[in-house]
Chain A
C-alpha cells in the first residue's frame, strides 16, 4: 500500500527566505512519481513540481525544487525567496507509474510573514 506522510501541520517563514516542507512516502511500486501541489485559500489545487523515481536529478521549477532522497524515501519541497503569495496549503502526492490513482498527504500550511 502507498502512504504519504507530512509531519509539519504548519510552518512560518520570513518573506524572501527559503523554506523546506517535509514529505516522506512508502510504496512497494518499483516506479512511481512524486508531486507537490499548492492549495490557496480559494481552494483550487495547483500543480507545482514532479519527480520521477528514476530521475537522476532533482526536479526544479522556478523557485521550487524537490529534494529527492530515494533511499530515505523523502521528497521535500524547497521554496526559495518566499513571497507573501506563497501562503497556502501544500500537499505532497504520489502515484505509481502507469497506475490509476494519486494519493495525497495531509498537507502543510505555510505562512509567509512580511
Chain B
C-alpha cells in the first residue's frame, strides 16, 4: 500500500494558463474523489468517480474544470484559463466500495499569479 499519490505538489501559473494535476489512488480503490481546500476552510467536494465513470460533479465547478479517470486507474484534473480565485489546495482521495473511510493524498497547491 503506497498510499494516494498526487503530482505535482506545487504549481505556480499565470492567469489564463491551463494546468493539469494527476492523482494515483490506492490500487484496489475503485472510488476516487477530488476536493478543493482554501486556507482556513474544510475540503469542498468537486467530483467523484466510480471506476472510470464520473458519477457526480459539484454545481460549483465551472466549465473550466474537467476531470477524467481513464481505465479506472489514475485521474487527472484540468483547469483551463486559470483565474486567481482558483488558487487553492486540490486534494485527491480514494476508497473501496465497502469502507467509507477516505484516504487522502498530500494535495497539489495551486497558485495563480
A interface with B by C-beta (< 8 Å): 4, 6, 33, 35, 37, 42-47, 50, 91, 93, 95, 97, 100-107
Instruction: Sort A-B residue pairs by CB-CB distance and give the 8 closest, nearest first.
Output: A104-B42, A45-B104, A101-B45, A104-B43, A100-B56, A100-B48, A44-B106, A106-B42
Asked if A102 contacts B42 (CB within 8 A), the reply is: no
Contacts A33-B100, A101-B33; is A44 near B45 (CB within 8 Å)? no
* Residues 73-113 (chain B) with a chain A CB within 8 angstroms: 89, 91, 93, 100-107, 109
CB contact under 8 A between A106 and B43, given known A45-B104, A50-B101, A101-B56: no
Number of A-B pairs, beta carbon distance below 8 Å: 57
Interface residue total, chain B, C-beta cutoff 8 A: 24
Q: Which of B43, B93, B100, B101 touches A91 (beta carbons < 8 Å)?
A: B43
B104 contacts across to A, CB distance below 8 A? 37, 44-46
Most interface-central of A102, A104, A107 (chain B CB within 10 A): A102
- Nearest-neighbor residue (CB-CB) of B104 within chain A: A45
Residue of A nearest to B58 (CB): A101
List, in ascending order, chain B residues with CB within 8 A of A97's CB: 100
Q: Which residues of B contact A6 (CB under 8 A)?
A: 42
User: Across the interface, do B42 and A35 meet the contact criterion of CB distance under 8 Å?
Assistant: no
- Provide the residues of chain A in CB contact with B106, threshold 8 Å: 42-44
Taking a contact as CB atoms under 8 Å apart, the answer to whether A45 and B91 are in contact is: yes
Decide if B107 touches A44 in the complex (CB within 8 Å): yes
Please report which residues of chain B, range 39-54, place their CB below 8 angstroms from some CB of chain A when the two chains form the complex. 40-45, 48, 50
Confirm or deny: B60 has a beta carbon within 8 angstroms of a beta carbon on chain A.
no
Q: In the complex, which residue of chain B has the Cβ closest to the Cβ of A99?
A: B100
- Min CB distance, B19 to chain A, in Å? 18
Given A95-B100, A104-B43, 18 more contacts at CB 8 Å?
Answer: A6-B42, A35-B101, A43-B89, A44-B104, A44-B106, A45-B93, A45-B104, A47-B101, A47-B102, A50-B101, A91-B42, A91-B43, A100-B48, A100-B50, A101-B33, A106-B40, A106-B41, A106-B42
Contacts of A102 in B (CB 8 A): 33, 45, 100, 102
CB distance from B110 to the nearest CB of A (A): 13
